Amino acid sequence: MPAINVSKALDQSHASRVFDLAELPLRELNQALHDLTPGSNETAWEVLNPKGSHSVAVGVDQPVTIDVRGSVGYYCGGMNDGSAITVHGSAGPGVGENMMSGSITVKGDASQYAGATGRGGLLVIEGNASSRCGISMKGIDIVVHGNIGHMSAFMAQSGNLVVLGDAGDALGDSIYEARLFVRGKVGSLGADCIAKEMRPEHLEFLQGLLDRAGVTGVKAAEFTRYGSARTLYNFNIDNADAY
Amino acid sequence: MCGIVGLFLKDKSLEPQLGSMLSQMLISLSDRGPDSAGIAIYGTPSGNEAKITMQSAKPEHDFRNLDAELAKAIGAPVSIAVKSTHAVIRTAPGKIEEARETIQALRPDIRIMGAGDVVEIYKEVGLPETVVDRFDVRSMTGTHGIGHTRMATESAVTTMGAHPFSTGADQCLVHNGSLSNHNNVRRELIREGMKFETENDTEVAAAYLSSQMAHGKNLGEALEGTLSDLDGFFTFVVGTKNGFGVVRDPIACKPAVMAETDQYVAFGSEYRALTKLPGIDNARVWEPEPATVYFWEH
């Protein structure tokens, strides 16, 4: 008899729980994900027919995998704390906003402010991200395979934004201590953002991050590092007349 | 917020479904704005008649016998099709301006929604579904159309404050955003001779485009001008008799998604608006770039 029980338990742990948003409301999906407790056997979830729904899988705090089959609207995976979410489509504004830990992979494109205010975890956009990617990021790592739009990493505080393609205008405006690595062209740099030397520790770190993000065939040495010139950190008395 | 949609058909076989496709797109964005909703549909040109879409708060009173009285006054055949608070007058293309002035003299309380060879505009206070049902928009055929569901910020929640705004023959515009220099631009356009019906910022954008096109610019060139002459937040979707255009301001904080297939070009404030379009899973779907003009013409 024990053998049968073990096999049942294994079946449960391997089968993913399928949640069809064409049949059930989004609130039930998110409630079921919030009801997960440590050690739950329901470690794999699959979400069907998202069709641009807002707030899919926000606030998940258990280490489960969630495969979303289609494109999502605003704030997918917001506040994620430990789950591994894959969007098999594109994401609307604010994907992974304020992520704490875990990972989100978007197979398509992401709209505005992807990863905004994120504190940790890894956000991978396999297509392009539009404006304000990584705005006010606070520790998250963001890897974009394509291009990013204007005003990305505005007031970025910490973490790493890696762009395999090009960046739009005003990259890193008023940046604090986040690191930006861009492989292609930068439209323009924002206030107080400058190109910096790629020292060996940066090359090593970036190669590790590219590996973690599943990027192949791209070398860390192909990127330029950007960061804060730190001239806005303290008030400059010579600027007093401007106020 | 506000939700805007647009659909420009390339495949003639879809024309009978234009009204139902556009209605469904707009209804899917209802929670972006509950105040008022409106749709402009560009029908197939008939060649020998033009249309005026009107609205009245007292339709039974205002529309009764209007066709006969108008026909007598302008000396041309007139037909009228009443749909709830709106009615569409059809008459000879050369008589449209005279008909418009005569309607306002005969029935001062009637509001003109728009006029042209092909466009019909229906807009009212209420949710998209209510508005679509009220005017039977789903059954309408056409080549292209635009729609709007409004969360009011710049002027009152009234029929006249609803979008689309039409300020020239077969021209209309829907807007998500708010303009900050509309009072100045309105004053300049009034000096040029443009007429305004409301205090609304979007009407100024529509009139700006009408004025530019009246000066010989094409739709693309007119849209390009908005980037230097209008200040504020905007995503505009614009229809002309044979054209369809989209432009976003350089900051581009108002959302926008587009899709294109061999059958159509579609615009939605969100992807949700596009999910039921035919072939959407294989469409080219993209976010229109800031400060970039997109337009298509038949």
Per-residue pLDDT tens digits for A76-89:
999 999 999 999 99
Range of the domain at A141: 2-230
| CATH of residue A12 | 2.160.20.60
Per-residue pLDDT tens digits for A90-113:
999 999 999 999 999 999 999 999
Quickly tell me which residue has 């001239």 as its tokens. Answer: A231
In a domain, A46, yes or no: yes
Cross-chain CB nearest to B270 (options A92, A109, A149): A92
* A38 prior amide bond cis, ω within 30: no
pLDDT(A11) > 70: no
E strand intervals along chain B:
3-9, 36-42, 50-55, 79-83, 86-91, 111-116, 119-125, 144-150, 165-168, 171-179, 232-239, 243-248, 257-260, 264-268, 284-286, 294-297
In this prediction, residue B232 carries a pLDDT of 96
Long-range contacts at B178-184 (CB < 8 A, ≥ 24 apart): B178/B153, B178/B154, B178/B232, B178/B233, B178/B234, B179/B154, B179/B204, B179/B205, B179/B230, B179/B231, B179/B232, B179/B233, B179/B234, B180/B231, B180/B232, B181/B230, B181/B231, B181/B232, B182/B154, B182/B230, B182/B232
How far is it, in rounded angstroms, from Cα A74 to Cα A91?
7
Q: Which residue blocks in B13-107 are alpha helix, DSSP H? A: 18-27, 59-63, 66-74, 96-106
In a domain, A242, yes or no: no
Q: B275 vs chain A: nearest CA distance in angstroms? A: 6
pLDDT(A13) > 70: no
Q: Which residue blocks in B111-181 are alpha helix, DSSP H? A: 128-134
The residues, ordered by sequence, that sit 6+ positions from A195 with a Cβ below 8 Å of its Cβ are A189, A224, A225, A226
Structure tokens at B266: 């579609």
Residue A192 exposure: Cα atoms within 13 Å on the Cβ side: 17
State how far the alpha carbon of A143 is from the alpha carbons of A29, A31, A122, A187, in Å. 28, 29, 8, 18
How far is it, in rounded angstroms, from Cα A30 to Cα A57?
6
Cross-chain CB nearest to A52 (options B252, B275, B289): B275
Q: B278 vs chain A: nearest CA distance in angstroms? A: 14
**Spatial contact of A224 and A171, defined as CB atoms under 8 Å apart:** no
In a domain, A241, yes or no: no
In this prediction, residue A242 carries a pLDDT of 80
Structure tokens at B261: 């297939």
In this prediction, residue A14 carries a pLDDT of 59
Burial class, B37, CB count within 10 angstroms (exposed 0-12 / middle 13-18 / buried 19+): buried
State how far the alpha carbon of A220 is from the alpha carbons of A141, A208, A209, in Å. 15, 9, 9
**Spatial contact of B52 and B78, defined as CB atoms under 8 Å apart:** no
Which ipTM score applies to this complex? 0.91
Q: Which residues of B touch A51 (CB under 8 A)?
A: 271-272, 275
In a domain, A210, yes or no: yes
Helix (H, G, I), strand (E, B) or coil at B227: helix
In a domain, A236, yes or no: no
pLDDT(A12) > 90: no
Q: Assess B291–A contact: CB distance below 8 Å, yes or no.
A: no
pLDDT(A8) > 50: no
In a domain, A239, yes or no: no
What is chain A's percent helix, strand, coil content, to nearest 5?
20, 25, 55
In a domain, A152, yes or no: yes
In this prediction, residue B181 carries a pLDDT of 97
Q: Give strand pairing partners of B79.
A: B90
Q: A89 vs chain B: nearest CA distance in angstroms? A: 10
Q: Assess A73–B contact: CB distance below 8 Å, yes or no.
A: yes
Question: Among residues of chain A, what percentage have pLDDT more than 90?
Answer: 89
Quickly tell me which residue has 């917020």 as its tokens. Answer: B1
Q: Which residues of A touch B273 (CB under 8 A)?
A: 52
Per-residue pLDDT tens digits for A138-175:
999 999 999 999 999 999 999 999 999 999 999 999 99
pLDDT(A1) > 80: no
Q: A207 vs chain B: nearest CA distance in angstroms? A: 30
- Structural domains of chain B ordered from first start: 3-45+118-297 (3.60.20.10)
> Is B2 annotated in the active site?
yes
How far is it, in rounded angstroms, from Cα B123 to Cα B131?
7
How far is it, in rounded angstroms, from Cα A140 to Cα A120?
4
Q: Work out how many CB contacts closer than 8 A connect A with B.
A: 42
**Spatial contact of B59 and B82, defined as CB atoms under 8 Å apart:** yes
Binary contact (B255, A93; C-beta < 8 A): yes
| Alpha carbon B281 to its chain's center | 28
Name the DSSP class of A171.
B
Whole-number average pLDDT of chain A:
94
Q: How many domains does chain A have?
A: 1
How far is it, in rounded angstroms, from Cα B3 to Cα B24?
13
How far is it, in rounded angstroms, from Cα B207 to Cα A175?
41
Query: CA quadruple A37, A43, A47, A53: dihedral positive or negative?
Result: positive
Q: Which residues of A touch B272 (CB under 8 A)?
A: 51-53, 73
Q: Assess B31–A contact: CB distance below 8 Å, yes or no.
A: no
In a domain, A155, yes or no: yes
Active-site residue (options: B2, B115, B172, B256):
B2
Q: Assess B285–A contact: CB distance below 8 Å, yes or no.
A: yes
Q: Can you give the pLDDT of all 298 residues of chain B as single tens digits? A: 899 999 999 999 999 999 999 999 999 999 999 999 999 999 988 888 999 999 999 999 999 999 999 999 999 999 999 999 999 999 999 999 999 999 999 999 999 999 999 999 999 999 999 999 999 999 999 999 999 999 988 788 999 889 999 999 999 999 999 999 999 999 999 999 999 989 999 999 999 999 999 999 999 999 999 999 999 999 999 999 999 999 999 999 999 999 999 999 999 999 999 999 999 999 999 999 999 999 999 9
